[in-house]
Amino acid sequence: MDIAAFCEKNGIECFEREPLCAHTSFKVGGEADFFLKTPSRAAPRLIRFLNEEKIPFFLLGKGTNTVARDEGFRGAVVNIIPEEPRLCGDGVGIECPAGASLRALALFAFDNSLTGLEFAHGIPGSVGGAVYMNAGAYGGSISDVLFSSVFCDGEGNIKEIAADAHDFGYRKSFFSENPGLTVLSSVFKLQKGDRAEIEKKMSELSEKRRATQPLSYPSAGSVFKRPEGHFAGKLIEDCGLKGFTRGGAQVSEKHAGFIVNAGGATFADIAAVIKHVQKTVYDRFGVTLEPEIKILGGGNF
C-alpha cells in the first residue's frame, strides 16, 4: 500500500511536494516529499506503517523551534493536528493532545481558573514539542506541571509514563533522548487559582515578550541554549554582533539571542550566521554556544 492510499484509509491528510517554509516559523525550507496531517488516534498506525515501509519521517509540531533545509526533506513530515484539551483529575488536571498549541492549553487553564501554566501562554509551540524539549520561560517550565504522558514507539505500541520518568533537564527530556518515540498526549496537574490574577500574570508576560523580543520578524525564538554561567544573548551582544547579517538572516537588533528572517533568508543564510556567532563568541570568551533549534531531518549547522 502506498502512502496516499494508507492515509485515505486512516483519515490522514496527505500532501505531496509540500513547501516546508509554510510550516516553520522561520519561513524557510524546500519541499517535503509528503506532508501528513494526522489525528493523534491514527498516529501510532502511521508511525508503524512508515517504519515498516522504511520511509524516513520527521515529527513536526508548530515548527517554532525548527528550521528546514533549502533542499527540503526526502520522506514524510508528520504533523499531529490540534485537538481540544479536557479537564481531568477532580478538575485540577488537564489532559491535552500533543498537537494542541501551548497557547490553547494555557487559555484552557485560564478559562477553568487553573494556575501554573501562565508562563506557557506566549510560547509559540505545540504541547508535544514542549514536552519533548521541556519548554519554559520566565521561571516556569513544563517539568513543573507535567503529571504523565502517553506515547507510541516505532512499532505503534502505546505506553504511558509518569512525570519522574520523563528525565527532564534543561531543554531535554526522555523523548529528546529517544527520538523514535512520539508523544500523543500529556496530563498537567495544576492548582485552583484566581481568574483575574491568572489573566493579569499572562498579560504581564505577554507585554514583556512584546517589549524584548523581535516578534515582527519570522524566527525560531532563542537560537542558543543558555551556557552555564552566562546568557547567550549578552555574550552575542558584547561581541558587537547585533544586526550582523548574511543574506536575509540577521542577528536581531532587539534581542541578540534571536536570529530573524529579515527578508528572503535561506537555511544557508541562517547556518552562516549561527556559525559566525559561535566562532566570534568562542574566540572572545572561550564559550561554546550550542544551538537550541533543531534541523528538520537532523544534522548540524
Which residues in the chain come in under a pLDDT of 50? none
Tell me the pTM. Answer: 0.93
Q: Which member of 18, 31, 118, 292 is catalytic?
A: 292
204 part of the active site: no
18 part of the active site: no
Determine contact, residues 186/93, Cβ cutoff 8 Å.
no
pLDDT value, residue 90: 87
pLDDT value, residue 297: 85
Q: Which member of 141, 219, 222, 252 is catalytic?
A: 222
Element (H, E) at 103: helix 102-111
pLDDT value, residue 108: 98
171 part of the active site: yes
Name which of 245, 289, 294 is nearest 270 in CA terms. Answer: 245
Quick one: CA torsion of 227, 229, 234, 239, rounded to 10 degrees? Answer: -80
What is the bridge-based pairing of β-strands 182-189 and 158-162? unpaired
Write phi, then psi, for 219 (nearest 5 degrees): -155, 180
CA–CA distance, 122 with 299 (Å, rounded to integer): 28
pLDDT value, residue 84: 95
Pick the CATH number of 3-80 from 3.90.1280.10, 3.30.1330.90, 3.30.43.10, 3.30.565.10: 3.30.43.10
Pick the CATH number of 86-210 from 3.40.50.720, 3.30.465.10, 3.40.50.1820, 3.10.580.10: 3.30.465.10
**Cβ-proximal residues to 62 (8 Å cutoff; 6+ apart), any chain:** 25, 101, 124, 125, 126, 129
The topology under which CATH files domain 215-295 is 3.90.78
| Alpha helix ranges (H) inside 229-289 | 232-238, 267-285
C-alpha cell at 242: 547585533
Q: Which member of 148, 171, 185, 252 is catalytic?
A: 171
CA–CA distance, 31 with 69 (Å, rounded to integer): 9
What are the residue boundaries of the structural domains of the chain, listed by start? 3-80, 86-210, 215-295
CA–CA distance, 124 with 68 (Å, rounded to integer): 17
| pLDDT one-digit tens code per residue, 270-289 | 999 999 999 999 999 999 99
